[in-house]
């Protein structure tokens, strides 16, 4: 009886570990986003084809963006995770500096090198101060200016070219079209707006001085960018005071309802409008954000890349999987299902990416695409929420003062610098 008990316990023990361990011909792959039926269908197709070609099974997980940072942190702190991962362009640097990404220069070159990829995505494949490539561009998520061309044309106006023109055009729409707040700010998701407005002002959120990366949030150019953002609400009144509460989903709904003339969004806006306001699809156009004092337009080019974790023991299989995913037809299919733009130039000739309106989007992103610095300060961490809560939030309470911008940026800079200082070189 005792012997039987011991054998039973041991068997359960061994079985548990067997179930948890992947088979020798299996790799794990993480992606981030919402698992729509379309995306699942495409990925299931990829996995099936890949298995038929190579015999390798891909264990795939789709994780919500809400858990993105915590999952990345979990991998950094435990060195346990998938073999291959999708990684946002703004976080490649941090993961590479934390020492968890493989150097994939050889793979990058085998895939065609710089010429075959979207230019704006290339900077983030090599973090500042590091040699080689640590991620492979997969798809781009450009945030261009989406505007109601029908309303602008009605009043003899074109796409606003400068900050001043944006304000002027918005005011005209307020008077002539009775549009209360034609411009928009996604207060709950302000990071990308900050990145590209800083670029328009000719600034940068970080600098490199004395062999160290430094937060640059209190610089005059960054301040002018943040001031222009808050002035949408506080000074010019072209964006709603409740912008502090808005996210992208809210703004899309407002655009579909005809309440907005301007918003920044990715090609996913077309999918959204086709489902919710099909009559608006032909009334919108895409362009770069208006130029700021530095005379620069911008289209924030985020996106996702593919990386291999260096603690994997399935490196060969991981490389094969990435090569499979980076076949132009596969890049195009995934980008189409995801609602973004292929990171591979040749894939932009497939799946309707060479037709309007997606072709216009790609052209704008290619001409004006920007990306924040590829260093530990490349993400703003919680600074964007600080700006939203303290500036836009205080306006809601009637106690906003322009002097608060300096105080908020100083606090934000300290927070930002603490994150940067964690990374050693």
Partner 1 sequence: MRKEKFLPYFMIIPTIIFMLIVHFFPMALGILSSFFKLNVMTIYNWVSAPFVGLTNYISVFTGEYFTNFISSFLYTTGFVLLAQIACYILGMGAALLVNEVNYPGRSIVRGIFLFPFILPIVVGITNWRYMFSFEGGMVNNLLLNIGIINEPIVWLVGSNAFFTILITFVWLSWPFWFIVLLASLQTIPKTYFEAASLDGATPLQKFRHIIVPLTSPVTKIIWLLTFMWYFREFNVPYVMMGLSPSKSANLLALHIYSEAFRLWNFSEGAVMAVIMSILLIGTLYLQQRVRKKEEDLLE
In 145-277, where does DSSP find H-type helix?
149-154, 163-176, 191-200, 220-234, 248-256, 268-276
Q: Which is nearer to partner 1, 155 or 401 (CB)?
A: 401
CA 253 to chain centre: 20
Calpha distance 12→20 (Å, rounded): 12
Q: What is the nearest approach in angstroms of partner 1 to the Cβ of residue 388?
A: 7
Closest CA to 189 of 342, 5, 382: 382
Neighbours of 80 (CB within 10 A): 9
250 contacts: CB under 8 Å, gap ≥ 6: 186
Tell me if 94 contacts partner 1 by CB under 8 A: yes
Q: Which of 6, 12, 73, 363 binds partner 1 (CB under 8 A)?
A: 73
Candidate ranges 35-43, 115-123, 349-357, 390-398; the one touching partner 1 (CB under 8 A):
390-398
Q: Which of 35, 161, 245, 360 binds partner 1 (CB under 8 A)?
A: 245
Tell me if 277 contacts partner 1 by CB under 8 A: no
Length of the chain as a residue count: 425
Closest CA to 309 of 39, 86, 37, 33: 86
Q: Which of 79, 212, 349, 401 binds partner 1 (CB under 8 A)?
A: 79
Q: Which of 35, 119, 161, 385 binds partner 1 (CB under 8 A)?
A: 385
Neighbours of 47 (CB within 10 A): 18
Q: What is the nearest approach in angstroms of partner 1 to the Cβ of residue 387?
A: 10
Tell me if 423 contacts partner 1 by CB under 8 A: yes
Neighbours of 40 (CB within 10 A): 13
Distance, first Cα to last Cα, the chain: 60
Neighbours of 138 (CB within 10 A): 29
Cβ pair 57, 25 in contact under 8 A: yes
- Tokens matching residue 271: 């999918």
Calpha distance 185→187 (Å, rounded): 6
Tell me if 36 contacts partner 1 by CB under 8 A: no
Q: Which of 392, 405, 409, 417 binds partner 1 (CB under 8 A)?
A: 392
Tell me if 242 contacts partner 1 by CB under 8 A: yes
Tell me if 411 contacts partner 1 by CB under 8 A: yes
Size of the site for partner 1 (CB under 8 A): 37
Q: What is the nearest approach in angstroms of partner 1 to the Cβ of residue 279?
A: 22
Closest CA to 139 of 5, 370, 304, 294: 304
Subset of residues 152 to 191 that bind partner 1, contact rule: CB under 8 A: 187-188
CA distances to 16, 27, 137 from 331, rounded to whole Å, are: 37, 20, 10
Q: Which residues pair with 289 in a beta bridge?
A: 298
Tell me if 310 contacts partner 1 by CB under 8 A: no
Q: What is the nearest approach in angstroms of partner 1 to the Cβ of residue 389?
A: 5
Q: Which of 104, 244, 256, 261 binds partner 1 (CB under 8 A)?
A: 244
Tell me if 397 contacts partner 1 by CB under 8 A: yes
Candidate ranges 142-150, 282-290, 299-307, 381-389; the one touching partner 1 (CB under 8 A):
381-389
- Tokens matching residue 232: 């949408």
Tell me if 59 contacts partner 1 by CB under 8 A: no
44 contacts: CB under 8 Å, gap ≥ 6: none
Q: What is the nearest approach in angstroms of partner 1 to the Cβ of residue 255?
A: 14
Q: Which residues pair with 284 in a beta bridge?
A: 148
Tell me if 205 contacts partner 1 by CB under 8 A: no
Q: What is the nearest approach in angstroms of partner 1 to the Cβ of residue 416?
A: 10
In 213-345, where does DSSP find H-type helix?
220-234, 248-256, 268-276, 315-325, 328-338
ω into residue 357 within 30 of 0, thus cis? yes
Q: What is the nearest approach in angstroms of partner 1 to the Cβ of residue 77?
A: 4
Tell me if 226 contacts partner 1 by CB under 8 A: no
Tell me if 129 contacts partner 1 by CB under 8 A: no
Neighbours of 270 (CB within 10 A): 18
Tell me if 404 contacts partner 1 by CB under 8 A: no
Q: Which is nearer to partner 1, 204 or 394 (CB)?
A: 394
Q: What is the nearest approach in angstroms of partner 1 to the Cβ of residue 417?
A: 11
Q: Which of 11, 16, 106, 422 binds partner 1 (CB under 8 A)?
A: 422
Q: Which of 39, 62, 98, 294 binds partner 1 (CB under 8 A)?
A: 98
**Which residues of this protein are in contact with partner 1, per CB under 8 A?**
69-70, 73, 76-79, 94, 97-99, 187-188, 241-242, 244-245, 250, 381-382, 385-386, 388-389, 392-394, 396-397, 411, 414-415, 418-419, 422-424
């Amino acid at each position: 009886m005792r012997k039987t008990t011991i054998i039973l316990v041991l068997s359960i023990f061994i079985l548990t570990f067997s179930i948890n361990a992947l088979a020798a011909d299996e790799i794990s792959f993480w992606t981030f986003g919402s698992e729509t039926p379309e995306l699942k269908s495409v990925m299931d197709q990829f996995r099936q084809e890949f298995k038929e070609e190579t015999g390798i099974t891909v264990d795939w997980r789709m994780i919500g963006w809400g858990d993105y940072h915590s999952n990345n942190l979990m991998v950094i702190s435990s060195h346990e995770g998938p073999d291959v991962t999708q990684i946002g362009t703004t976080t490649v640097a941090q993961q590479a500096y934390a020492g968890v990404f493989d150097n994939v220069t050889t793979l990058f070159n085998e895939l065609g090198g710089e010429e075959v990829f979207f230019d704006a995505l290339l900077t983030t494949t090599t973090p500042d101060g590091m040699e080689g490539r640590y991620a492979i561009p997969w798809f781009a998520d450009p945030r261009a200016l989406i505007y109601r061309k029908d309303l602008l044309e009605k009043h003899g106006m074109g796409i606003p070219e400068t900050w001043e023109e944006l304000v002027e055009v918005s005011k005209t729409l307020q008077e002539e079209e009775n549009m209360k707040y034609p411009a928009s700010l996604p207060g709950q998701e302000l990071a990308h707006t900050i990145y590209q407005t800083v670029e328009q002002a000719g600034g940068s959120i970080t600098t490199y001085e004395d062999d160290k990366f430094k937060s640059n949030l209190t610089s005059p150019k960054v301040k002018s960018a943040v001031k222009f953002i808050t002035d949408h609400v506080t000074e010019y009144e072209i964006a709603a005071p409740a912008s502090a509460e808005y996210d992208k989903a809210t703004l899309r709904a407002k655009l579909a309802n005809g309440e907005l003339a301007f918003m920044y969004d990715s090609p996913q806006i077309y999918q959204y409008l086709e489902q919710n306001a099909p009559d608006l699809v032909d009334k919108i156009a895409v362009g770069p954000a208006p130029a700021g004092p530095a005379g620069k337009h911008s289209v924030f080019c985020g996106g996702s890349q593919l990386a291999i974790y260096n603690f994997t023991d399935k490196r060969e299989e991981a490389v094969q999987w990435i090569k499979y995913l980076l076949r132009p037809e596969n890049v195009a299919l995934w980008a189409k299902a995801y609602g973004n733009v292929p990171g591979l130039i040749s894939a932009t000739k497939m799946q309707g990416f060479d037709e309007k309106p997606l072709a216009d989007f790609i052209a704008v992103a290619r001409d004006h695409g920007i990306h924040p610095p590829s260093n530990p300060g490349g993400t703003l961490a919680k600074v964007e929420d600080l700006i939203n809560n303290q500036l836009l939030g205080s306006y809601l309470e009637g106690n906003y003062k322009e002097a608060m911008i300096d105080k908020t940026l100083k606090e934000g800079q300290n927070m930002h610098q603490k994150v940067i200082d964690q990374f050693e070189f």
